[in-house]
């Protein structure tokens, strides 16, 4: 499986699970992909998370909150990320040394509807919110988005002209509520960085 060499930022939200986090970071180090950025958001852990990161992974991005602020702490990582694609993961996932594993473990994909990502969404049967690029040649991205929705009816397509932070957040909440019943699991999402700028306005 071939992937475009866009820079990928992986944001991990963690709380009091330093051992699981360490296993995940060791797994991510095996990814055969460049360029890759890893950012850990420590949601005011009371264990040895900060010491573990400093000694074992001094080169990754690390942000510690001054109190536990719940899943909204993830937004700190989204603001810090510099990748073309941003992925958020739970801290207890262990995977394979392939970027395909990252997409496979994503819960919700938010972004444009280019040919490659559209095929990945259908192949992996992922929930998606697609915002087709209006200026695409022969309206290709809209056609791709419609094709994805034909295969996966739960797919949401948003016209960029109608796009706003509140509309995007509403659709994210609807998708995640419909597909994730446990409040103890954070939303895993692959998000196009151009769309992240809208999310930034919410925090």
Same domain, 145 and 88: no
**Residue numbers of the domain that contains 23:** 1-105
pTM for this predicted structure:
0.60
Span 112-134, pLDDT tens digits:
888 877 888 898 888 888 988 88
Q: Among residues 52, 75, 105, which one ends one of the domains?
A: 105
Same domain membership, residue 145 and residue 81: no
Last residue within a domain, chosen from 71, 105, 139:
105
Mark whether 117 and 180 lie in a shared domain: yes
Q: Residues 89, 119: one domain?
A: no
Q: How many domains does the chain have?
A: 2
Q: Which of 49, 77, 105 is the last residue of a domain?
A: 105
**Residues 62 and 162 occupy one common structural domain:** no
Q: How is residue 66 written in tokens?
A: 């001054």
Instruction: Categorize the per-residue pLDDT at 94 as very low, low, confident or very high, splitting at 50, 70 and 90.
Output: low
Task: Average the pLDDT over 134-157 and give the result.
Answer: 92
- 3-class secondary structure, 134: coil
Same domain assignment for residues 89 and 39: yes
Residues 168 and 44: their CA atoms lie apart, in Å, by 28
Prior bond of 35 cis (ω within 30°): yes
pLDDT at 149 over 70: yes
Q: Which of 112, 73, 104 has its CA nearest to residue 191?
A: 112
123 and 90 inside one domain: no
Question: Is residue 160 very low, low, confident or very high in pLDDT (cuts 50, 70, 90)?
Answer: confident
CA distances in angstroms from 24 to 88, 90, 144, listed in the order given: 13, 9, 33
CA distance 101 to 83: 18
Residues 13 and 40 in one domain: yes
């Amino acid at each position: 499986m071939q992937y475009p060499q866009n820079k990928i930022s992986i944001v991990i939200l963690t709380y009091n699970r330093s051992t699981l986090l360490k296993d995940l970071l060791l797994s991510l180090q095996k990814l055969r992909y460049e360029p890759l950025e890893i950012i850990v958001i420590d949601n005011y852990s009371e264990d040895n998370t900060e010491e573990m990161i400093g000694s074992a992974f001094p080169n990754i991005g690390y942000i510690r909150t001054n109190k536990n602020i719940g899943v909204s702490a993830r937004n700190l990582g989204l603001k810090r990320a510099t990748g073309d694609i941003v992925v958020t993961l739970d801290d207890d996932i262990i995977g394979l040394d392939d970027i395909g594993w990252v997409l496979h473990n994503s819960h919700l994909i938010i972004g444009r509807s280019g040919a490659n990502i559209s095929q990945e969404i259908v192949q992996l049967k992922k929930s998606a919110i697609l915002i087709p690029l209006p200026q695409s040649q022969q309206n290709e991205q809209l056609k791709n988005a419609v094709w994805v929705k034909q295969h996966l009816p739960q797919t949401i397509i948003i016209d960029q002209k109608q796009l706003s932070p509140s509309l995007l957040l509403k659709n994210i909440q609807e998708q995640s509520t419909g597909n994730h019943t446990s409040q103890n699991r954070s939303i895993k999402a692959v998000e196009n960085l151009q769309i992240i700028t809208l999310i930034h306005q919410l925090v």
